[in-house]
Amino acid sequence: MRRARDFLSLDDVTIAELHGLLRDAAKYKRHRQRHGQRLAGRVVALIFQKPSVRTRVAFEVAVRRLGGSTIYLGDDDIRLGEREPVGDAARVLARYVDAVVLRTFAHRTVQEFASHADVPVINGLSDLSHPCQALADVFTIQEHFGRLKGLALAYIGDGNNVLHALMQACAMLGIHLSAATPASYRPEAKCWAATSRLAAAQGARLRWVSDPRQAARGADVLYTDVWVSMGNETERKARRRAFRGYQVNTQLLKLAARGCRVMHCLPAHRGEEITDEVLDGPQSLVLEQAENRLHVQKALLAMLLNGKATR
Ligand code: CP
Ligand code: NVA
């Protein structure tokens, strides 16, 4: 059986491949309309158990611009893991389509699906990781600053899927990252330990602090995400209480480096993790960041569907 190439987390690409993806994404962005038909005749299924604007639309548009087509399957369409085992659904779908983008809850569902599907599987967000977002994030940083290595990023807020993927990408590229989260919302311990080793090998600093001001001081990028992720809704009250003081606002931004840029994966809960003033202000990169999902996802699809498997 052919071993398909998956993208479940940043672990699935080498540092050289990550740089290659960023270069390809830049080409796709420069030549928006002239892509050739790299995915001609290919069909990509999008299985989404959670809502999405950016991930879904950027993948649908990316596939179409590259000459392929998509099938969107919402939670009610296939009821993944309910009507039949995840592995059975994966094996069947792999007989029909050329790749699958899966947005789900438990990360082990993406892993299980991928282990049974002999077509590329892309993690379109799980509770553990959001690797497509991280590709767009580091692409946006490179595009804005013209470099990556040695920059300092401060992540303020929840130690969640977005942070896990972002810290891995930063470590691979030599970006220093300070994460400020409440003690009970720190990033997942195994992921943190592995990323710390990766960062050290690339000469990048990875540190956790509880004080957002300590993280923000001198930062080139201030990054935040929602305090209540999809699936955490029942914890809303407790989380709002725990994260009070972790808002990215004008006061916090003043502590950062001159020329600091603000990033957020969106959707934002305005007035919670970030103020309108900062999100819509001159230092915000959020719309570039959202647009760049399209360009990096084109590069990713081209790599997974056309590239040589290296594993
Ligand atoms: N940033 C992001 O993944 O957005 P969506 O949830 O809208 O896809
Ligand atoms: N952490 C957020 C990211 C949304 C793109 C969530 O999982 O809901």
Task: Give the C-alpha distances (Å, rounded to integers) separating 275 from 86, 252, 270, 279.
Answer: 40, 11, 6, 6
Name 7's bridge partners. Answer: 122
Among candidate residues 170, 191, 260, 265, the one labeled active-site is 265
Contact status, residue 295 vs residue 65, Cβ threshold 8 Å = no
Q: Please enumerate in sequence order all residues whose Cβ is within 8 A of that of 174, keeping only pairs 6 or more positions apart, or say none.
A: 148, 149, 150, 202, 203, 204
Q: Please enumerate in sequence order all residues whose Cβ is within 8 A of that of 283, keeping only pairs 6 or more positions apart, or say none.
A: 253, 260, 261, 262
Among candidate residues 98, 225, 295, 297, the one labeled active-site is 225
What per-residue confidence (pLDDT) applies to 308?
Answer: 42
Contact status, residue 98 vs residue 305, Cβ threshold 8 Å = yes
Nearest-CA residue for atom 2 of ligand 2 = 229
Q: Are residue 241 and residue 261 in the same domain, yes or no?
A: yes
Among candidate residues 5, 293, 295, 297, the one labeled active-site is 293
Mutate to test the pocket of ligand 1, among 46, 50, 54 (most ligand atoms within 8 A of CB): 54
Confirm whether 2 is domain-assigned.
no
Which atom number of ligand 1 is nearest to the Cα of residue 290? 1
Cis peptide before 267 (omega within 30 of 0): yes
What per-residue confidence (pLDDT) applies to 311?
Answer: 30
Which atom number of ligand 1 is nearest to the Cα of residue 124? 3
Apex 134 CA angle, 22 and 256, nearest 5: 100
Please give the Cα distance from 296 to 135 (Å, whole number). Answer: 6
What per-residue confidence (pLDDT) applies to 238?
Answer: 98
Strands of the chain (E only): list them: 43-48, 69-74, 99-103, 121-123, 152-156, 176-180, 206-209, 221-224, 261-264
Residue 284, SS3 per DSSP: strand
Q: Are residue 23 and residue 85 in the same domain, yes or no?
A: yes
Q: Note the helical H segments in 146-275.
A: 161-173, 189-201, 212-216, 236-242, 250-255
Indicate the helix (H) or strand (E) that contains 145: helix 131-145
Q: Are residue 205 and residue 278 in the same domain, yes or no?
A: yes
Confirm whether 165 is domain-assigned.
yes
3-state helix, strand, coil in the chain (%, to 5): 45, 15, 40
Q: Is the CB of 265 within 6 Å of ligand 1?
A: yes
Please give the Cα distance from 170 to 134 (Å, whole number). Answer: 9
- Give percent above pLDDT 90 in the chain: 94
Q: pLDDT tens digits, residue range 228-270?
A: 999 999 999 999 999 999 999 999 999 999 999 999 999 999 9
Q: Is the CB of 57 within 6 Å of ligand 1?
A: no
Give Rg (Cα) of the chain.
Answer: 19
Residue 164 pLDDT > 50: yes
Q: Are residue 126 and residue 262 in the same domain, yes or no?
A: no
Q: Is the CB of 43 within 6 Å of ligand 1?
A: no
What per-residue confidence (pLDDT) applies to 149?
Answer: 98
Residue 309 banded pLDDT, cuts 50, 70, 90:
very low
Nearest-CA residue for atom 3 of ligand 1 = 55
Confirm whether 269 is domain-assigned.
yes
Q: pLDDT tens digits, residue range 211-229?
A: 999 999 999 999 999 999 9
Confirm whether 188 is domain-assigned.
yes
Instruction: From 6, 278, 279, 246, select the one nearest 124 (Cα to Cα).
Output: 6
Q: Are residue 193 and residue 224 in the same domain, yes or no?
A: yes
Q: Is the CB of 160 within 6 Å of ligand 2?
A: yes
Residue 310 pLDDT > 50: no
Q: Please enumerate in sequence order all residues whose Cβ is within 8 A of that of 291, keeping only pairs 6 or more positions apart, or say none.
A: none
Amino acid at 97: V
Confirm whether 246 is domain-assigned.
yes
What CATH number is associated with residue 92? Answer: 3.40.50.1370
Q: Angle of helix 286-306 relative to helix 131-145, nearest 10 degrees? A: 120
Nearest-CA residue for atom 7 of ligand 2 = 229
Q: pLDDT tens digits, residue range 2-60?
A: 479 999 999 999 999 999 999 999 999 999 877 789 999 999 999 999 999 999 999 99
What is the average pLDDT across 110-125? 98
Q: Is the CB of 209 within 6 Å of ligand 2?
A: no
Confirm whether 105 is domain-assigned.
yes
What per-residue confidence (pLDDT) applies to 53?
Answer: 98
Q: Hunting for tokens 């569902």 — which residue is that?
A: 109
Total number of domains in the chain: 2
Ligand nearest to the CA of 135: 1
Confirm whether 106 is domain-assigned.
yes
Q: Are residue 147 and residue 241 in the same domain, yes or no?
A: yes
Q: Are residue 298 and residue 278 in the same domain, yes or no?
A: no
Q: Is the CB of 166 within 6 Å of ligand 1?
A: no
Instruction: From 310, 181, 301, 177, select the one nearest 242 (Cα to Cα).
Output: 181
Q: pLDDT tens digits, residue range 178-193?
A: 999 999 999 999 999 9
Among candidate residues 130, 176, 239, 261, the one labeled active-site is 130
Which atom number of ligand 2 is nearest to the Cα of residue 231? 8
Q: Are residue 20 and residue 109 in the same domain, yes or no?
A: yes
Name 73's bridge partners. Answer: 47
**Domain encompassing residue 97:** 10-130+293-306
Task: Give the C-alpha distances (Å, rounded to integers) separating 161 from 45, 168, 234, 265.
Answer: 22, 11, 18, 11
Ligand nearest to the CA of 56: 1
Q: Is the CB of 103 within 6 Å of ligand 1?
A: no
Q: Are residue 47 and residue 159 in the same domain, yes or no?
A: no
Name 72's bridge partners. Answer: 46
Residue 306 banded pLDDT, cuts 50, 70, 90:
confident
Q: Are residue 198 and residue 73 in the same domain, yes or no?
A: no
What per-residue confidence (pLDDT) applies to 307?
Answer: 57
Q: Are residue 144 and residue 121 in the same domain, yes or no?
A: no
Q: Are residue 104 and residue 245 in the same domain, yes or no?
A: no
Among candidate residues 49, 56, 65, 133, the one labeled active-site is 133
Residue 272 banded pLDDT, cuts 50, 70, 90:
very high
